[in-house]
Amino acid sequence: MGFPNPLTISADGIPRFIIVAGVIGVGKTTFTSSLAGSLKYEPLYELGTECPYLGDFYADPTKWAYPMQEWFKSHRYRMHQYAVWSIRAGKIAGAVMDRSIWEDTIFAQVNRDLGTIDPRNFDTYLRGFSDMVHTLMEPDVLIYLDASAETCQRRALKRDRPEERTTAFGADEGIPIDYLGRLRDAYDKWLTIIAPRIPVVRIPWETFRPVEQVWGEVQQALDERTRYTRSLVLP
């Protein structure tokens, strides 16, 4: 991970740098927009449709997975730095970011496991990632929206992006369940690794709920974490 970032949290303890995480199609962008609007923070979107490699990746992942991941890594690094330094400079009250640079490693690893990124390119990707992430401050909280691979596939189909409807992974009705399931499993492993360092709040997202209700759950989880941490250090 990056290094701790105790300076973005406001004086009243409200997180100011928030990351929304989750598998493709789970509903991150919609939630990011709603939460940012509710908190009067700036939303920072994934901009997947602006990636010049995305359509090519779905058509021929073996050829395009690696350059696509390099593009996303660079994009998310810039987005992350913008969020942190804009908050600290007082230009924005806070930021809600749709996916993080750390999550990109999940996608790169799954593609390596599938053989669409060869091990040498994966190692090159990780070296660049390591150089970048050591310069980044960690978010105040990561909200993970959790839904089944089937639900994510259905929602991705509903948004009807042409590049996601027919893919070279072997499905002609959207992003394959197997690919989404692999991503979800990899997220589960990743979350257990980062949870001791970064506050992670897992939100069941099979059914959409009002953002105010979810934010209340996030604040409660953060309060419980703070009380537990204090109990470890106070006599």
Please give the positions annotated as active site.
98
Query: Coil, strand, or helix at residue 45?
Result: coil
End-to-end CA distance of the chain: 30
Exposure class string for 149-160: b at 16+ Cβ within 10 A, else e:
bebbbebbeeee
CB 95 within 8 A of CB 80: no
Compute the distance between CA of residue 77 and CA of residue 133 in angstroms, rounded to an integer. 8
Residue 84's contacts (CB-CB under 8 Å, 6 or more residues apart) are 5, 8, 17, 136, 137
DSSP of 86-124: HHHTTSSS-EEEES-HHHHHHHHHHHHHHTSS-HHHHHH
Compute the distance between CA of residue 107 and CA of residue 195 in angstroms, rounded to an integer. 19
Which residue, chain included where needed, has tokens 């804009």?
Answer: 86
User: What is the token pair recorded at 105?
Assistant: 């490693």
User: What is the token pair recorded at 232?
Assistant: 């470890």
